[in-house]
Amino acid sequence: MTDTPKWLRPLAAVALLWNLLGCAAFAADMMLTPDDVARMDVVQRAMYEARPAWSVIGTAAAVIGGALGSLGLLLSRRWAYPLLALSLAGVVVQDVGMAQAFGTWPGAAVLALQAVVLLVAIALASLARRGVRDGWLR
């Protein structure tokens, strides 16, 4: 077993905070009332209503798997890897659903944010895989 790198815990803590923010955003989205949706501008409302249910489930898997997987990284546990792989799969499902819901150019800011989310998910799943392979995670 290899010693756990000194940078892993601080990185895992930041990853956990990142994913907890995602959980908070998802929870806020799930608590929107019909009045909240009615107050959205026409484009936002159309996108919100066009989201397929499977995309919302993908988002749930992404944020919950990401938070639990990041906690696993923080605790140096092997189970971080399957959870972070689930999170990555959830991000991909979410992105496919968003692309379907948009149907048109969503804007550079939306694409940039989703690209960052995807890259972070790839990096965390890869890091956990390496941690299992190299014996950092027990």
Residues 120, 98: Cα–Cα separation, whole Å: 18
**What residue has token string 């399957």?**
82
Q: Does residue 44 sit within a domain?
A: yes
Q: What is the pLDDT of residue 64?
A: 98
For the chain, what is the mean pLDDT? 93
Q: Does residue 1 sit within a domain?
A: no
Q: Does residue 2 sit within a domain?
A: no
Q: Does residue 63 sit within a domain?
A: yes
Q: What is the pLDDT of residue 1?
A: 60
* pTM given for the model: 0.91
Q: Provide the token pair at 61.
A: 């898997």
Query: Residue 88 belongs to what domain range?
Result: 8-134
Q: Does residue 3 sit within a domain?
A: no
Total domains in the chain come to: 1
